[in-house]
Chains A and B, each alone.
Chain A
């Protein structure tokens, strides 16, 4: 009996831990693309760059959980009931957890002089930390981009953020709340380059700036590309698994093939999984920490005990920016109407409730965790 966990991030680790906790005593192999044991990613865009969070506090794994590691050796292919690693090792399995996460998307056609970074892994964060100086240009005003902008200001660095959309985080938060985020950062000295994107970087030995789509030139000593991620499914090509928009799963996180049939003994969790959410009624892929943490345990239980409980965790996120904690629950980005139920947008503490078609679809809180917990309960009982 062998279970292979493909991926050694939060989801992979939590799956392994849950498999042992649920009584699996066979061979348990965790294969990861990175050389590191599982670690927590949220501090990489924040405390790890400022030095407020030490690397030693990131570790997720402990020695109590007996696991055979294959690190720095990514999964390369799935052939029937065998996982092939990059170095050629073949691992036959009775069970497989797909938790390969996601990888940064870099805009096509952009040159990459030295000094242009991405931020996903610990090694990315170390390289960026060693390079952070002067004026920073961030591409992408999503969570990572906004957190990076905030971190740069904490470090006293100049920072500009470019994004083709008119407001930061507008897809997630909607226009009204996104404008609040925009102001929050502007007041801390972040320069927004919204409604525009980088068409070319300047510099050859070292990046010196960028040319924007509106013709402007921005000087920069360091660039970080934070324009999103895509699910890491390349290794599943030819396996027959449905990888459209992520690894397609049913409501129990059982993986489906291209004909929609359950692949026996294969489950998925974390950023890579796109599953039929029993409450949201449509397949969703959620890149939030809590979805990975809870989904991995659910997937492990399905693998060992069969389909018993649908995975119905409501998406939930947090983001620390400019000294404020932004928390959200549900799918506020799908909201058509926003109502302020605590505070107002002029202040630092408020709760916004989002609805579509008269139904509550999500809520976002600035600095009010207690009120968000109540919103979450309201959302799930609706």
Chain B
């Protein structure tokens, strides 16, 4: 499972961080960071994050 965020679409809403804080986090400049290492163990939370993204910026490849 691979997760990518389109940096053009991402508007730093922070919905993904709420759905899967182990994977997605905004820094103080509201730039999004992804911990790819924890993606595989948190499939459902990552899918929830993708669904919650208002700009549909999160792409998941199984």
Quick one: which of B11, B17, B26, B54 contacts A289, CB cutoff 8 A? B54
**Contact: B15 with A290, CB < 8 Å?**
yes
Q: Provide the residues of chain A in CB contact with B15, threshold 8 Å.
A: 290, 316
Given contacts A318-B13, A327-B14, are A369 and B51 in contact (CB under 8 A)? Answer: no
**Contact: A293 with B51, CB < 8 Å?**
yes
- Sort chain A's interface into a size bin: 10 to 19
**Chain A positions 297-341 with a Cβ under 8 Å from a chain B Cβ:** 297, 316, 318, 325, 327
Asked whether any CB of chain B lies closer than 8 Å to the CB of A277, the reply is: no
**Chain A positions 345-372 with a Cβ under 8 Å from a chain B Cβ:** 369-370, 372
Given contacts A327-B14, A369-B26, are A377 and B21 in contact (CB under 8 A)? Answer: yes
**Contact: B17 with A373, CB < 8 Å?**
yes
**Contact: B54 with A290, CB < 8 Å?**
yes
**Contact: B54 with A369, CB < 8 Å?**
no
What distance in Å separates the Cβ of A365 from its nearest Cβ neighbour in chain B? Answer: 9
What distance in Å separates the Cβ of B26 from its nearest Cβ neighbour in chain A? Answer: 4
**Contact: A293 with B52, CB < 8 Å?**
yes
Asked whether any CB of chain B lies closer than 8 Å to the CB of A142, the reply is: no
How many angstroms from the CA of A325 to the CA of B12 in the assembled complex?
Answer: 10
**Which residue among B14, B28, B48 has the maximum number of chain A CB atoms within 10 Å of its CB?**
B14
Quick one: which of A294, A327, A370, A377 contacts B51, CB cutoff 8 A? A294
Q: Provide the residues of chain B in CB contact with A370, threshold 8 Å.
A: 12, 14, 17, 26-28, 30
**Chain B positions 44-62 with a Cβ under 8 Å from a chain A Cβ:** 48, 51-52, 54, 56
Closest to A370 in B: B26
Closest to A290 in B: B52
**Chain A positions 221-274 with a Cβ under 8 Å from a chain B Cβ:** none
What distance in Å separates the Cβ of B32 from its nearest Cβ neighbour in chain A? Answer: 10
Q: State the interface size on chain B (CB cutoff 8 A).
A: 17
How many angstroms from the CA of A372 to the CA of B15 in the assembled complex?
Answer: 10
How many angstroms from the CA of A377 to the CA of B19 in the assembled complex?
Answer: 10
Q: Provide the residues of chain B in CB contact with A325, threshold 8 Å.
A: 11
**Contact: B26 with A373, CB < 8 Å?**
yes
**Chain B positions 23-43 with a Cβ under 8 Å from a chain A Cβ:** 26-28, 30
Asked whether any CB of chain B lies closer than 8 Å to the CB of A164, the reply is: no
How many angstroms from the CA of A281 to the CA of B11 in the assembled complex?
Answer: 32
**Contact: A14 with B18, CB < 8 Å?**
no
Given contacts A42-B54, A318-B13, A327-B13, are A373 and B18 in contact (CB under 8 A)? Answer: yes
Asked whether any CB of chain B lies closer than 8 Å to the CB of A376, the reply is: yes
**Contact: A372 with B54, CB < 8 Å?**
no
B contact residues vs A (CB 8 Å cutoff): 11-15, 17-18, 21, 26-28, 30, 48, 51-52, 54, 56
- The 9 tightest CB contacts between A and B, nearest first, are A373-B14, A369-B14, A370-B26, A373-B17, A376-B18, A369-B12, A369-B30, A293-B51, A290-B52
